[in-house]
């Protein structure tokens, strides 16, 4: 006799899942077409001088583009003179125009698009020797002195500087601009309840704390007027007690989405001032990092660096658990960043619903890794997360394990 009840030992009928996204499929990001889903994350190159980008910086991004990414990101460019984190960081002023234009031409010549990260380093800028600016005065361990709180005039001036910097990039032929809203830099500092202790219209409630960051992004959006894709690199969490946490960060992201000022958000975390290793994971090369600073900061780092550079074990795709709830809460395109070495992780992240995947250290280690993934020559990268590349950022960032003949920019 044949029963019409379902057989209990039959395999459950599986609804077919959505087809996996091909990492090599093109993607339209706002006004620009990307050839695949790979982005080179900003890794400060240390290849600018007082006149802006050097030939080395042009060659660095040409080589990364030739290695297969869709979008290469020129790392932190300060929108204001006092917004540099280190003395030789590029300020988006007229003298940077020829070098930036050459970077755009070189990257386009390799079939990729180019972005630049713009921002104001805030309290981190104290490393230049000038008095750092921040939402509220604080002691900066980098400069060994107190920062100065920005006032209403500073906020208006810096907002205009964000717009001017983005306009300059568009005029130089860039395809995208990435507004830095992470790592304790000025806009991220405003979001942080720990760093922003103001009780005026720029501090207190989250609504007030996000006013300046939203205003800066809106100014950028208006300035580029559809010529560039606008990306925000946002902290999901500062990784410090009392700092911005994921729940508030999601509200910020949703607000940016509602503002309609952003084409994508790249999700990061940590604080360059208070918990830098949170954003990298892996080894903390304390002595190498200390050597990059002048005295007395060098001595301070040699003695107390272990405390400041609290290290976290590296895990492949380490920000996925933090980032997934952002995917659920948002419709905006999202860029995943954090510990991607394996092509399988790229596929997983795309299956999680992220549109793009940014990679930093893996591409310093192997600038042509994406091409090697594509050709089948590699399925995983060779970065060992020793983080010694971080100690190079003042004089030409590179992976110490890479053969000098293969180094981009060298
Ligand atoms: C040497 C180095 C320099 C970096 N410079 C920047 C920077 O200028 N701006 C930024 O937002 N992140 C910077 N980062 C962080 C990366 O963009 C990225 O968020 C982080 O390295 C995690 O990605 P990964 O695991 O693929 O390297 C830097 C990372 C490294 C290793």
Quote the ligand 1 centre to 353 CA distance (angstroms).
Answer: 22
DSSP states along 160-212: HHHHHHHHHHHHTT-SEEEEEE-BTSHHHHHH-TTT----STTSSSHHHHTHH
Residue closest via CA to ligand 1's atom 11 equals 42
pLDDT band at residue 17, thresholds of 50, 70 and 90?
low
Lowest mean pLDDT among 9-18, 161-170, 190-199: 9-18
Mean pLDDT across the stretch 59-63? 97
278: Cβ below 6 Å to ligand 1? Answer: no
293: Cβ below 6 Å to ligand 1? Answer: no
pLDDT at 307 over 90: no
pLDDT on residue 31 = 98
363: Cβ below 6 Å to ligand 1? Answer: no
Residue closest via CA to ligand 1's atom 18 equals 360
pLDDT on residue 87 = 82
Give the model confidence (pLDDT) of 228-281 as tens digits: 999 999 999 999 999 999 999 999 999 999 999 999 999 999 998 888 889 989
Q: How far apart are CA 163 and CA 220, in angstroms?
A: 5
Give the model confidence (pLDDT) of 211-231 as tens digits: 999 999 999 999 999 999 999
Is the pTM higher than 0.85? The answer reads: yes
Quote the ligand 1 centre to 259 CA distance (angstroms).
Answer: 27
188: Cβ below 6 Å to ligand 1? Answer: no
pLDDT on residue 15 = 56
Residue closest via CA to ligand 1's atom 8 equals 44
Buried b / exposed e over 81-91, threshold 16 CB at 10 Å, is ebbbbbeebbb
Q: Which residues pair with 119 in a beta bridge?
A: 78
Lowest mean pLDDT among 93-107, 208-222, 308-322: 308-322
pLDDT on residue 3 = 39
pLDDT on residue 18 = 65
Domain 27-406, CATH number (from 3.30.2350.10, 3.20.20.70, 3.90.1150.10, 3.40.50.1110)? 3.20.20.70
pLDDT band at residue 23, thresholds of 50, 70 and 90?
very high
Q: What is the average pLDDT score of the chain?
A: 91
359: Cβ below 6 Å to ligand 1? Answer: yes
What is the number of the ligand 1 atom nearest to the C-alpha of 389? 1
285: Cβ below 6 Å to ligand 1? Answer: no
Q: How far apart are CA 283 and CA 309, in angstroms?
A: 9
Quote the ligand 1 centre to 11 CA distance (angstroms).
Answer: 46
pLDDT at 6 over 60: no
pLDDT at 127 over 60: no
Q: Which residues pair with 267 in a beta bridge?
A: 234, 336
């Amino acid at each position: 006799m044949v029963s019409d009840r379902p057989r209990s030992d039959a395999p459950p009928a599986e609804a077919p899942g959505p087809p996996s996204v091909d990492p090599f499929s093109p993607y339209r990001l706002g006004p620009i077409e990307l050839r695949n889903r790979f982005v080179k994350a900003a890794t400060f190159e240390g290849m600018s001088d007082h006149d802006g980008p050097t030939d080395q910086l042009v060659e660095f991004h040409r080589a990364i583009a030739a290695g297969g990414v869709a979008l290469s990101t020129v790392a932190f460019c300060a929108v204001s003179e006092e917004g540099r984190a280190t003395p030789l960081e590029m300020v988006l002023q007229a003298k940077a125009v020829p070098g930036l234009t050459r970077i755009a031409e070189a990257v386009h010549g390799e079939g990729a698009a180019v972005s630049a990260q713009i921002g104001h380093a805030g309290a981190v800028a104290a490393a230049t020797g000038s008095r750092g600016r921040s939402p509220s005065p604080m002691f900066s361990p980098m400069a060994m002195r107190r920062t100065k709180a920005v006032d209403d005039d500073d906020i208006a001036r810096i907002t205009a500087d964000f717009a001017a910097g983005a306009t300059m990039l568009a005029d130089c032929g860039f395809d995208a601009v990435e507004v830095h809203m992470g790592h304790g830099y000025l806009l991220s500092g405003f979001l942080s309840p720990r760093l922003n202790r103001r009780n005026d219209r720029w501090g207190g409630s989250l609504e007030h704390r996000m006013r300046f960051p939203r205003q800066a992004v809106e100014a950028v959006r208006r300035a580029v007027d559809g010529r560039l894709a606008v990306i925000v690199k946002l902290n999901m969490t500062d990784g410090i007690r009392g700092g911005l946490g994921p729940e508030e960060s999601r509200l910020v992201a949703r607000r940016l989405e509602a503002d309609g000022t952003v084409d994508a958000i790249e999700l990061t975390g940590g604080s360059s001032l208070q918990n830098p290793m949170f954003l990298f994971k892996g080894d903390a090369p304390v002595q190498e990092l200390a050597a990059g600073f002048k005295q007395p900061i060098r001595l301070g780092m040699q003695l107390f660096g272990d405390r400041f550079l609290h290290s976290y074990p590296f895990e492949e795709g380490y920000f996925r658990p933090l980032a997934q709830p952002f995917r659920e809460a948002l419709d905006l395109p999202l860029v995943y960043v954090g510990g991607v070495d394996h092509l399988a992780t790229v596929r997983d992240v795309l299956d999680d619903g992220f549109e793009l995947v940014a990679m930093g250290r893996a591409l310093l280690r192997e600038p042509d890794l994406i091409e090697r993934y594509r050709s089948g020559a590699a399925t995983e990268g060779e970065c060992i997360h020793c983080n010694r590349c971080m100690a190079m950022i003042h004089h030409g960032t590179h992976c110490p394990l890479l053969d000098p003949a293969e180094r981009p920019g060298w």
